Amino acid sequence: MTDTATPVVGQRPPGRRATGLGLLGPAFVAAIAYVDPGNVAANLTAGARYGYLLLWVLVAANASAVVVQYLSAKLGIVTGRSLPELLGLRMRRAPRLLFWAQAEVVAAATDVAEVIGGALALHLLFGVLLVVGGLITGVVSMVILLLQHHRGARTFEAVVTAMLAVLTIGFCAGLLFAQVSPGALLAGIAPRFADSGSVLLAASMLGATVMPHAVYLHSALARDRHGDTPVGPERRRVLVATRWDVALALVLAGGVNISMLVLAAATLQGVSGTDSIPGAQHAIAENVGPVVGVLFSVGLLASGLASTSVGCMAGAEIMHGLLHVRVPLVVRRLVTLVPAIVLLALRYDPTQLLVISQVVLSFGIAFAIVPLVAYTSRRSVMGDDVNALGTKVLAWLIAAVIVALNVALIVLTVTG
């Protein structure tokens, strides 16, 4: 291995390693990125417009995400460094600054979407102005980040996991009352498209699922939880636990995404006014029941609050790894809150802003996934834990498909 790991915040001293369930947690924080407000917009739109047609996209995207997030966590565990740190060590100054710039644009787009999601939820629940809702979302997310700073990663993980549970209930409750067609549900697993619009939407769903900042952050979360785990039985045990952590977290997140699409397909298809989150929430309340509508809004609020906190952490890690500068999370939270508040104050359509943010994310996904697969496939970086041939082939195939679909999203958006 070419890099010597240095001690990191959160690393356990020898002899005090966690066991069993104590090894789980980092993936549940990263999984929040997979159920953020951008996912809500994409999944509801897919179900309302095309029914169950694009269900297979979510299944494939979530399966791909399991591989990508495990590789990210493995990189952090084996090297004791995050993906941004490794990139920062191996890139010359000019390319490193350019790489940081695109990563920060992606992080900013992510944060805009998540703050807007929280603002929309507060508007739907309490009728507050979107700008005020954005400020409240920013303040609450700041409190969550302060918990991480003062109480440690475990408390932060517990809070975020609790929010994941809340949004799971909020987004899935409607399925108890919706009339789902089993035949159509099964048919939706077969890969196919209806028209160019469905291709564009499929690419948007993928862009909303596999997100760059989750790839960057997960390596840091695993690094901080497990440290530079020594070679041997200890590392094998941690890697096995990490596979379970990633699988459980993303099966949960994938189930939430699928539930949103199925709910929209069962209750919103053909219903007018469902091309926005407020319209979809109103239609759900009308067609399924007001309680389900409220639960949906609560789920959206939990999604916005948790995902914007996680997104802010990812941005801080990107800056630290690539620029070797560590900015306090609260300061970063204040700075990154500004673009979302400005956009809300200018009264842009919030749902449209969510869609645009997913397009921006598409520009950044290749920059995260390609180096991740490259590093985890190099013996000089990973030692004996280098990707096996089958994993390497699968990872490069996933990277190629994800990059191709995101390029398609960009092209179709620009030309359409």
CB 84 within 8 A of CB 321: yes
The residues near 386 (Cβ < 8 Å, ≥ 6 apart) are 376, 377, 378, 379
Cα of first residue to Cα of last residue in the chain, in angstroms, is 47
- What pLDDT is stored for residue 18 in this prediction? 56
pLDDT tens digits, one per residue of 357-388: 776 777 788 899 999 999 999 999 999 999 99
Q: What is the mean pLDDT of residues 37-59?
A: 91
The residues near 228 (Cβ < 8 Å, ≥ 6 apart) are 5, 8, 11, 79, 80
Q: At what angle do helices 212-226 and 55-79 cross, to 10 degrees?
A: 40
Q: What is the mean pLDDT of residues 40-68?
A: 92
**pLDDT class of 112 with cuts at 50, 70, 90:** confident
Largest CA distance in the chain: 61
Q: How far apart are CA 367 and CA 84, in angstroms?
A: 11
Q: What is the mean pLDDT of residues 276-289?
A: 90
Which two tokens mark 401? 């498909």
**pLDDT class of 163 with cuts at 50, 70, 90:** very high
Sign for the pseudo-dihedral over CA of 212, 224, 328, 38: positive
The residues near 375 (Cβ < 8 Å, ≥ 6 apart) are 75, 83, 86, 381, 382
Distance set, CA 98 to CA 72, 88, 92, 101, 340 (Å):
22, 11, 10, 5, 23
Q: How far apart are CA 322 and CA 53, in angstroms?
A: 41
- What pLDDT is stored for residue 342 in this prediction? 92
Please state, rounded to an integer, the average pLDDT across all residues of the chain: 87
**Residue 300 pLDDT > 80:** yes
Q: How far apart are CA 364 and CA 369, in angstroms?
A: 9
**pLDDT class of 57 with cuts at 50, 70, 90:** very high
**pLDDT class of 196 with cuts at 50, 70, 90:** confident
Confirm whether pTM is higher than 0.75: yes
pLDDT tens digits, one per residue of 200-255: 788 778 767 788 889 999 999 999 988 768 888 999 999 999 999 999 999 999 99
**How many other CB atoms are found less than 10 A from the CB of residue 331?**
10
Q: What is the mean pLDDT of residues 337-363?
A: 82
Q: What is the mean pLDDT of residues 376-403?
A: 94
- What pLDDT is stored for residue 4 in this prediction? 39
**Residue 318 pLDDT > 60:** yes
Residue of 41 and 8 predicted with greater confidence: 41
Report helix, strand or coil for 4: coil
**Residue 189 pLDDT > 60:** yes
